[in-house]
């Protein structure tokens, strides 16, 4: 049972009761203190000492603290770890306060709203996602508070959940906000939990009516040409949440657009992952990704935009061509490109700086960065003025000179201002007369004091008189005891020391008041001037943001032009004719990282007339996966407008790219490799269209040979009969090559090899035809398996091949068009005679062609159970 708390602790507990989810940083003098559980957690996470404080309880209250001037980095550490921090300040001067100092929370910092420079990765956006459900439809709103961008997306009931997952994968939120008291359906929660392990959930208040929030959104964003009420409501709730948390103006959040799935190439999470577009598979970093090869941007704004382009390429030919012409021009105009890039190199992240201007956390160094960025704009615009492509001229129109703002910052901010405003010396000399006077008063004070001392010496003959300052008496004159008789009448004795006396004079007191109040006034005035400056910048925030966004476009186009030029890429021609023809295409990442070998280029032809489905068989390690990924990557590059590594290419944009490449156990959800693989295949078969590009690598590998073969064949048949998507399908089931006879648009391809005795050379060239061997033992030899094992494997392989040939002779090969028959024949082969078991009957009753792989899998499980019960192994 606790005793009565101290008044301070009562105040703390009262405030804490409103911020249960947050770590409460409670300002006490020069420190932010944390108490109780907050203190236990923070001391552990920040590695700071845990102490205790007596607050009325019998036991001391656990407590830890950080100095207020160093708090930012501690807060950033906590927020990066997924915690929310509430900052509780003293709202009145403790000296003037009667009783306990008034305190309250002035802002909350969360992973999705943090805005300080070091907290955010400069080259990536930081999105917050809001989920809003009305009737059967979801509205998702994504917002990057640091850049002011807002994207909304509607998912209606008829859409698939996958749509929501794709949007989440695209924006990878660090924080998700939901209506107070509500929860996401389990399936969505699981997806989020698996994909974004550090995401935090926060409630948004639904206290205000839907109409109220919608009206507030209209007032904030103005006319967006948006009719949908529920979207306005979702935007309104997002604003309310942000206001609640940030507790300062947020008018910089004003760049609203709808996620335009219709004219975007959708790359689902697994494709982004498997193709290593922005993150590599090894450690999730950027090395070895497509982004790594293409990113030569010079500004953080450009880096973020390139990432967005790659995660969401275009499908509209006109839009793609617009970018292509700009890149083409920037490749040809090498001089202008170099010139533009040298200017871009001087530009700081002013998209995020203006966000900090709005919320009040802008530092003096931010303003010098903004000033330096604006300084290069006139020259940059001049160079850009020479360019004639549509995209570049429009970028030039969007970039303003911001001459007035530049002049203002030039005149107002010191050449090298102090790091923080508290230190003073931020406003330039000459900007404000009053400030200059106050400054000269304080800097000249020492001179004044020396002069006064000289005058007194001359008047009194006290040649050894000294001046000094202490906190109790302020300024004083010090005279040794033996000379104290000589001090004039107007000296007032204040302190006696062992060997000296200290005096003040009315004139000295007057001087002191003037100096001390000048210092105070100077700090206050500098503060006010800084705030005025902020207001003046705020007035043109929208224009600066537009300039920043145009510069980001320019930076990305310059980056793609530079890479295109240096790597010898070509401009693909585009036509909406369903055909993909690439001559001598190369994998942009592998070709860059190959050390001794030269990358072997390959062609690809895909169309709906006679080559829709490429079935690729061939040895291990021959280059099948590389080839398939290369096709997908070249399509992505082409659809962001980039040039591509090839000799010649004409491309018809695709609407989606699906990939199923390898699989690993999903331990977090307890799913086996095979289960994960089947789920991914099910997702593809459900969502792919005839305009999609489908990459399937070794389907069925995760289960027994015959199960795998059956499923692989059924999947091939389903795509050829029902989907007609452009497909690349690599497999080790060589039996499947006979499907070419049944499906006219399915074509066999293989990788050329050159055999010389036991030596095999992979030529990395994709050629027409089917392979009949895997050369697995050859790869095993290269990998260094012991000779004895290799020899034994060769003997076993030879005997298996003999058996298989016998089976062929008996016309019992497993390649047959109906997968259900495979199972029957498999059973026959397995026992040597007709296998009479209820399992076989059940199998024969199945209509495999109309089943989804997941249904097939479930039935396989059931049948296996049945077989076991019936006496199987």
Ligand X SMILES: Nc1ncnc2c1ncn2[C@@H]1O[C@H](COP(=O)(O)OP(=O)(O)OP(=O)(O)O)[C@@H](O)[C@H]1O
Residue 626 is a binding residue for ligand X (CB under 6 A): yes
Residue 590 is a binding residue for ligand X (CB under 6 A): yes
Distance CA 453, CA 503 (A): 13
| Tokens standing for residue 425 | 């010396």
Closer by beta carbon to ligand X, 75 or else 621: 621
Q: Which stretch binds ligand X (CB under 6 A): 279-287, 301-309, 597-605, 814-822?
A: 597-605
What element of type H or E holds 251? Answer: none
Q: Which stretch binds ligand X (CB under 6 A): 67-75, 595-603, 789-797, 852-860?
A: 595-603
Provide the minimum distance between the beta carbon of 621 and ligand X in the complex, in angstroms, as a whole number. 5
Residue from 288, 355, 623, 641 binding ligand X (CB under 6 A): 623
| Tokens standing for residue 129 | 């996602």
754-813 positions binding ligand X, by CB under 6 A: 764
Closer by beta carbon to ligand X, 35 or else 599: 599
Closer by beta carbon to ligand X, 42 or else 661: 661
416-445 positions binding ligand X, by CB under 6 A: none
26 forms bridges with which residues in the sheet?
33, 88
Closer by beta carbon to ligand X, 590 or else 816: 590
The secondary structure of 622-679 as a DSSP string is: SSHHHHHHHHHHHHHHHHHT--BSSSEEEE---SEEEEEE----BGGGTB-HHHHHHH
Closer by beta carbon to ligand X, 364 or else 601: 601
Distance CA 732, CA 650 (A): 30
Residue 599 is a binding residue for ligand X (CB under 6 A): yes
Provide the minimum distance between the beta carbon of 598 and ligand X in the complex, in angstroms, as a whole number. 7
Residues in the interface with ligand X (CB under 6 A) total: 12
Residue from 59, 597, 809, 841 binding ligand X (CB under 6 A): 597
Provide the minimum distance between the beta carbon of 198 and ligand X in the complex, in angstroms, as a whole number. 32
Residue 733 is a binding residue for ligand X (CB under 6 A): no
Provide the minimum distance between the beta carbon of 563 and ligand X in the complex, in angstroms, as a whole number. 20
Closer by beta carbon to ligand X, 344 or else 622: 622
CB atoms within 10 A of CB 3: 9
Q: Which stretch binds ligand X (CB under 6 A): 314-322, 414-422, 592-600, 858-866?
A: 592-600
Residue 621 is a binding residue for ligand X (CB under 6 A): yes
Provide the minimum distance between the beta carbon of 593 and ligand X in the complex, in angstroms, as a whole number. 8
Distance CA 872, CA 812 (A): 24
Provide the minimum distance between the beta carbon of 282 and ligand X in the complex, in angstroms, as a whole number. 13
Residue 622 is a binding residue for ligand X (CB under 6 A): yes
Of 35, 75, 124, the residue nearest 361 (C-alpha)? 75
Q: Which stretch binds ligand X (CB under 6 A): 77-85, 171-179, 615-623, 822-830?
A: 615-623
Residue 119 is a binding residue for ligand X (CB under 6 A): no
3-state secondary structure 539-605: CCHHHHHHHHHHHHHHHHHHHHHHHHHHCCCECCEECCCCCEEEEEECCHHHHHHCCCCCCCCEEEE
Provide the minimum distance between the beta carbon of 639 and ligand X in the complex, in angstroms, as a whole number. 22
**Is 625 a known ligand-binding residue?**
yes
Please say whether the beta carbons of 640 and 305 come within 8 A: no
Please say whether the beta carbons of 161 and 268 come within 8 A: no
**Any residues with CB less than 8 A from the CB of 674 and at least 6 apart, and which?**
663, 702, 703, 857
Residue 712 is a binding residue for ligand X (CB under 6 A): no
Provide the minimum distance between the beta carbon of 791 and ligand X in the complex, in angstroms, as a whole number. 22
Distance CA 308, CA 743 (A): 39
Task: Report how far Cα 586 is from the mean position of its chain's Cα atoms.
Answer: 28
Provide the minimum distance between the beta carbon of 620 and ligand X in the complex, in angstroms, as a whole number. 3
What element of type H or E holds 174? Answer: none
Provide the minimum distance between the beta carbon of 606 and ligand X in the complex, in angstroms, as a whole number. 18
Please say whether the beta carbons of 614 and 714 come within 8 A: no
Provide the minimum distance between the beta carbon of 628 and ligand X in the complex, in angstroms, as a whole number. 8
**Is 624 a known ligand-binding residue?**
yes
266 forms bridges with which residues in the sheet?
656
Provide the minimum distance between the beta carbon of 588 and ligand X in the complex, in angstroms, as a whole number. 12
For residue 808, give Cα distances in angstroms to 467, 674, 707.
Answer: 112, 30, 20
**Is 47 a known ligand-binding residue?**
no
Distance CA 315, CA 308 (A): 15
The secondary structure of 185-240 as a DSSP string is: -HHHHHHHHHH-TT-EEEEE---S-HHHHHHHHHHHH---S---HHHHHHHHHHHH
**Is 662 a known ligand-binding residue?**
no
Residue 242 is a binding residue for ligand X (CB under 6 A): no
Q: How many residues does the chain have?
A: 873
CA torsion 172→152→686→291, rounded to 10°? -40
Provide the minimum distance between the beta carbon of 601 and ligand X in the complex, in angstroms, as a whole number. 7
What element of type H or E holds 156? Answer: none
Helix 838-845 to helix 819-831 angle (10° resolution) is 160
Distance CA 713, CA 823 (A): 12
For residue 359, give Cα distances in angstroms to 238, 372, 583, 679.
Answer: 16, 21, 53, 45
Residue from 600, 615, 685, 843 binding ligand X (CB under 6 A): 600
Closer by beta carbon to ligand X, 551 or else 621: 621
Residue 673 is a binding residue for ligand X (CB under 6 A): no
Distance CA 288, CA 591 (A): 11
26-55 positions binding ligand X, by CB under 6 A: none
**Is 363 a known ligand-binding residue?**
no
Of 59, 61, 34, 29, the residue nearest 46 (C-alpha)? 34
Binding mask 684-703 for ligand X (x = CB under 6 A): --------------------
Q: Which stretch binds ligand X (CB under 6 A): 199-207, 303-311, 616-624, 820-828?
A: 616-624
**Is 621 a known ligand-binding residue?**
yes
Q: Which stretch binds ligand X (CB under 6 A): 367-375, 427-435, 476-484, 618-626?
A: 618-626
**Is 622 a known ligand-binding residue?**
yes
Q: Which stretch binds ligand X (CB under 6 A): 446-454, 572-580, 622-630, 781-789?
A: 622-630
Closer by beta carbon to ligand X, 465 or else 621: 621
Closer by beta carbon to ligand X, 208 or else 701: 701
Residue from 341, 624, 679, 778 binding ligand X (CB under 6 A): 624
**Is 670 a known ligand-binding residue?**
no
Provide the minimum distance between the beta carbon of 644 and ligand X in the complex, in angstroms, as a whole number. 15
Closer by beta carbon to ligand X, 119 or else 661: 661
Q: For ligand X, which residue has the nearest CB?
A: 623
CB atoms within 10 A of CB 105: 19
Distance CA 313, CA 294 (A): 14
Q: Which stretch binds ligand X (CB under 6 A): 110-118, 190-198, 223-231, 621-629?
A: 621-629
Name residue, tokens 């942000």: 242
Residue 620 is a binding residue for ligand X (CB under 6 A): yes
Tell the burial category of 618 from Cβ atoms under 10 Å away from its Cβ (0-12, 13-18, 19+).
Answer: buried
Three-state DSSP at 454 gives helix
Q: Which stretch binds ligand X (CB under 6 A): 131-139, 342-350, 561-569, 614-622?
A: 614-622
Question: Residue 42: how many CA atoms within 13 Å on its side-chain side?
Answer: 30
Residue from 625, 659, 703, 750 binding ligand X (CB under 6 A): 625
| Tokens standing for residue 311 | 């995660």
Provide the minimum distance between the beta carbon of 765 and ligand X in the complex, in angstroms, as a whole number. 8
Closer by beta carbon to ligand X, 120 or else 617: 617
Residue 579 is a binding residue for ligand X (CB under 6 A): no
Of 697, 743, 740, the residue nearest 722 (C-alpha)? 743
Distance CA 399, CA 344 (A): 13
Query: What residue numbers does the annotated binding site cover?
Result: 618-625
Which residues make up the interface to ligand X (CB under 6 A)? 590, 597, 599-600, 620-626, 764
Query: What residue numbers does the annotated binding site for ATP cover?
Result: 618-625
């Amino acid at each position: 049972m606790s005793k009565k708390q101290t008044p301070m602790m009562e105040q703390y507990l009262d405030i804490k009761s409103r911020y249960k989810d947050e770590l409460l940083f409670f300002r006490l003098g020069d420190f932010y203190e944390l108490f109780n559980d907050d203190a236990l957690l923070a001391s552990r996470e920040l590695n700071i000492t845990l102490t205790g404080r007596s607050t009325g309880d019998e036991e001391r209250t656990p407590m830890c603290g950080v100095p207020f001037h160093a708090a930012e980095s501690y807060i950033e550490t906590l927020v990066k770890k997924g915690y929310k921090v509430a900052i509780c300040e003293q709202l009145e001067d403790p000296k003037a306060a009667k009783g306990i100092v008034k305190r309250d929370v002035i802002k909350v910092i969360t992973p999705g709203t943090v805005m300080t420079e070091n907290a955010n990765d400069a080259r990536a956006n930081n999105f917050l996602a809001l989920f809003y459900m009305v009737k059967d439809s979801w509205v998702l709103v994504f917002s990057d508070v640091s850049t002011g961008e807002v994207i909304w997306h509607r998912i209606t009931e008829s859409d698939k959940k996958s749509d929501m997952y794709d949007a989440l994968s695209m924006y990878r939120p660090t924080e998700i906000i939901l209506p107070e008291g509500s929860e996401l359906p389990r399936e969505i929660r699981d997806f989020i939990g698996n994909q974004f392990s550090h995401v935090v959930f926060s409630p948004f208040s639904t206290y205000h009516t839907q109409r109220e929030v919608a009206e507030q959104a209209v007032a904030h964003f103005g006319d967006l040409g948006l009719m949908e009420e529920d979207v306005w409501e979702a935007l309104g709730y997002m604003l309310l949440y942000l206001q609640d948390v940030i507790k300062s103006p947020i008018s910089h959040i004003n760049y609203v657009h709808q996620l335009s799935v219709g004219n975007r190439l959708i790359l689902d999470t697994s494709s982004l992952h498997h193709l290593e577009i922005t993150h590599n598979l090894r450690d999730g970093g950027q090395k070895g990704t497509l982004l790594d090869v293409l990113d030569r941007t010079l500004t953080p704004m450009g880096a973020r935009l390139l990432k967005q382009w790659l995660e969401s390429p275009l499908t509209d030919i006109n839009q793609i061509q617009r970018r292509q012409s700009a890149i083409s021009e920037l490749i040809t105009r090498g001089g202008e490109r170099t010139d533009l890039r040298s200017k871009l190199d001087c530009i700081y992240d002013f998209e995020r700086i203006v966000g900090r201007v709005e919320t009040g956390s802008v530092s003096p160094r931010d303003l010098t960065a903004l000033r330096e960025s604006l300084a290069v704009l006139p020259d940059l615009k001049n160079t850009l003025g020479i360019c004639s492509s549509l995209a570049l001229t429009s970028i030039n129109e969007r970039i303003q000179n911001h001459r007035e703002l530049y002049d203002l910052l030039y005149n107002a901010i010191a050449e090298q201002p102090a790091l923080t405003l508290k230190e003073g010396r931020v406003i330039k000399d000459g900007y404000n007369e009053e400030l200059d006077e106050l400054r000269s008063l304080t800097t000249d004070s020492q001179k004044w004091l020396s002069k006064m001392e000289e005058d007194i010496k001359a008047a009194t003959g006290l040649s050894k008189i000294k001046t000094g300052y202490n906190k109790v008496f302020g300024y004083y004159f010090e005279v040794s005891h033996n000379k104290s008789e000589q001090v004039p009448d107007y000296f007032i004795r204040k302190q006696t020391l062992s060997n000296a006396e200290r005096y003040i004079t009315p004139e000295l007191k007057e001087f002191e008041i003037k100096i001390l109040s000048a210092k105070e006034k100077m700090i206050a005035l500098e503060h006010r001037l800084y705030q005025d400056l902020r207001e003046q910048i705020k007035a043109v925030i929208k224009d600066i943001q537009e300039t920043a966004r145009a510069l980001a476009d320019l930076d990305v186009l310059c980056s793609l032009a530079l890479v295109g030029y240096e790597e010898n890429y070509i401009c693909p021609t585009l036509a909406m004719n369903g055909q993909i023809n690439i001559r001598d295409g190369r994998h942009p990442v592998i070709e860059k990282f190959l050390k001794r070998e030269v990358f072997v280029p390959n062609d690809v032809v895909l169309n709906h007339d006679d080559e829709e489905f490429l079935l690729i068989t061939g040895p291990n390690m021959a280059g099948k996966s590389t080839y398939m990924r290369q096709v997908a990557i070249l399509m992505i590059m082409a659809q962001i407008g980039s040039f591509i590594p090839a000799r010649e290419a004409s491309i018809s944009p695709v609407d989606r790219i699906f990939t199923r490449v390898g699989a690993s156990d999903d331990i977090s959800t307890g799913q086996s490799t095979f289960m994960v693989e089947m789920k991914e295949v099910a997702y593809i078969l459900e969502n792919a269209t005839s305009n999609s590009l489908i990459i399937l690598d070794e389907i069925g590998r995760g289960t027994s040979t015959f199960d795998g073969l059956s499923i692989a064949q059924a999947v091939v048949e389903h795509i050829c009969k029902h989907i007609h998507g452009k497909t690349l399908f690599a497999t080790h089931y060589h039996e499947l090559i006979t499907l070419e006879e049944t499906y006219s648009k399915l074509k066999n391809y293989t990788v050329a090899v050159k055999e010389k005795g036991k030596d095999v050379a992979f030529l990395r060239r994709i050629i027409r035809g089917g392979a009949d061997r895997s050369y697995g033992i050859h790869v095993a030899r290269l990998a260094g398996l012991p000779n004895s094992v290799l020899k034994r494997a060769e003997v076993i392989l030879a005997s298996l091949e003999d058996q298989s040939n016998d089976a062929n002779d008996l016309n019992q090969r497993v390649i047959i068009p109906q997968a259900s028959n495979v199972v029957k024949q498999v059973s026959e082969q397995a026992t040597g005679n007709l296998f009479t078991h209820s399992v076989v009957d059940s199998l024969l009753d199945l209509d495999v062609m109309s089943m989804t792989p997941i249904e097939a899998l479930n039935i396989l499980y059931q049948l296996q159970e049945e077989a076991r019960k019936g006496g199987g192994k």
